[in-house]
């Protein structure tokens, strides 16, 4: 079995990118990471990433274009499962393994198109923000998706969209509607401190969640 994580990046710092890459390399099962530079390639990544694409200019759509290209590449190469990870976030070490185990368990009861993982909201210093995340029925962040082969034919509807709503598409606010329209089925990965995405919260997000001052 082969699994992949697709990571678009723009102008993230070396430190953030190193943390992201290391979290994929340290997964408890073998995972390939497809990094796609959205017009601002960093040469040092040539020596850290096995799969690396450079787009010649930025697209200004919250990573949707590089993410979509990475997903299409992974789909056509027929990976058995594909996750998405923004460059400023990171995975717990057993994230992919838990998604696969969850799929294997639930798929015995019927068709499963993707897994929704949990995320832990983190401050820039990586401390956890103790707050309830949005209900899955209302919002699923892009980083929380782990796609399975029965889903791959739907990808064309997920990333391309008018530029004026790219911000909402990247935040996955419209994706539950597509899921319902296409009659997709999903499994939810259990909440745990060791089976989740570390989601970096900055600026207005921290202020909105905890009424804390912006870092």
Residue 74 falls inside a structural domain: yes
Residue 105 falls inside a structural domain: yes
Query: 170: domain range?
Result: 3-210
For residue 172, pLDDT beyond 60? no
Residue 128 falls inside a structural domain: yes
For residue 181, give the nearest of 212, 147, 157, 205 by alpha carbon. 157
8 Å CB contact between 102 and 145: no
Residue with the larger pLDDT of the pair 50 and 115: 115
Residue 125 falls inside a structural domain: yes
Q: How far, in Å, CA of 120 to CA of 129, rounded?
A: 7
Give residue 91's pLDDT band: very low, low, confident or very high (50, 70, 90). very high
Residue 215 falls inside a structural domain: no
Residue 195 falls inside a structural domain: yes
3-state secondary structure of 166: helix
Q: Report how many domains make up the chain.
A: 1
Residue 34 falls inside a structural domain: yes
| Predicted confidence (pLDDT) per residue in 10-32, tens digit | 988 999 999 999 999 999 999 99
For residue 38, pLDDT beyond 70? yes
What is the domain-level CATH number for residue 140? 3.90.550.10
* pTM strictly above 0.75: yes
The alpha carbon dihedral of 18, 23, 27, 32 has a sign of: negative
Residue 75 falls inside a structural domain: yes
For residue 53, give the nearest of 71, 35, 32 by alpha carbon. 35
CA distances from 40 to 137, 149, 211 (A): 35, 31, 33
């Amino acid at each position: 079995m082969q699994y992949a994580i697709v990571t678009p990046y723009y102008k993230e710092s070396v430190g953030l990118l190193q943390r992201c890459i290391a979290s994929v390399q340290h997964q408890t099962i073998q995972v390939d990471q497809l990094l796609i530079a959205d017009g601002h390639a960093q040469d040092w990544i040539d020596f850290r990433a096995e799969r690396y694409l450079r787009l010649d200019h930025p697209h200004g759509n919250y990573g949707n274009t590089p993410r979509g290209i990475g997903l299409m590449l992974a789909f056509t190469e027929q990976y058995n499962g594909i996750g998405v990870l923004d460059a400023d976030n990171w995975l717990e070490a057993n994230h992919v393994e838990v998604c696969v185990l969850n799929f294997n368990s639930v798929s015995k009861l019927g068709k499963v198109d993707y897994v929704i993982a949990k995320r832990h909201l983190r401050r820039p210093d990586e401390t956890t923000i103790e707050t309830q995340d949005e209900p899955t029925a209302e919002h699923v962040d892009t980083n929380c998706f782990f796609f399975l082969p029965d889903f791959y034919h739907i990808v064309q509807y997920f990333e391309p969209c008018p530029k004026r709503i790219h911000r909402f598409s990247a935040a996955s606010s419209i994706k539950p509607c597509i899921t319902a329209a296409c009659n997709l089925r999903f499994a939810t990965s259990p909440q745990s401190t060791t089976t989740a995405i570390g989601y970096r919260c900055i600026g207005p997000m921290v202020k909105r969640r905890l009424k804390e001052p912006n870092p």
